[in-house]
Amino acid sequence: MNKNESKYFNTAIKMDQSFLELLEKKDFAYITVKEICHEADVNRSTFYLHYETLDDLLKESVEYMNRHFLEHMGQDSRNFMNKINDCSKDELYLITPKYLKPYLSYIKRNKRLFLTAIKKAKVLQLNQSYSQLFQHVLMPILDCYQVPQEERKYIMSFYIQGIIAIITQWLKDDCKEEIEFVMQVIQRCIKQPKGNYESRNLFRKRKSKNTRITSS
């Protein structure tokens, strides 16, 4: 990264941070480009060099927060994928307090940002972003559980939409319920697999073999 690229990147971070600080004080609808420029100590032309609209800044801020969270958790993409490949099936089940509590705590601390992002979900294409993230994480897990290919898109849709719906409702209620309560709700909705897929796949293989024998 050369000097100009570094300056461009650092300026973007300053505007992200200024925007997040303003979001802690007021709703997104009342934040102006002028305020962001003042807080970040940049001029309007610099803002529009980076973003066309405030929605663009919001989208980048959500991505910035997600990256920050992953760094905080020490779970960058490569380390996380290595863990998935190395750990046992019991550890692959991610709907546990170990994984949920840090994530829900982070959302609660930054509830204004995430609630704003949810309200702007269509503009930010959040469902598409989350789908890509879940696909990246869930596919290797579904491989380990030998989930049939034709069922995977439905299972991923269930996980994504279900968890997002619960968190959305929690955010709309201003995160009044305790994190432990929300974890219990999610865990009751999504139960850990108990080896059913291995049994079903074995049954399918036997059935297919018997069909071939009968046909011959």
Could you tell me the end-to-end alpha-carbon distance of the chain, in angstroms, rounded to an integer?
66
Instruction: Convert the pLDDT of each residue in 104-145 to its tens digit.
Output: 888 898 888 888 877 777 655 566 656 655 565 667 677 777
Stretch 156-165: mean pLDDT, rounded? 81
Fold of domain 1-51: Arc Repressor Mutant, subunit A (1.10.10)
Classify residue 53 as left (phi > 0), alpha (psi -120 to 50) or beta: beta
> Is residue 160 a contact partner of residue 130, using CB atoms and an 8 Å limit?
yes
pLDDT for the residue 42: 94
Enumerate the H helices of the chain as residue ranges.
Answer: 3-23, 33-40, 44-50, 54-73, 77-86, 89-92, 97-109, 111-119, 121-124, 126-144, 149-172, 179-189, 196-215
pLDDT for the residue 202: 45
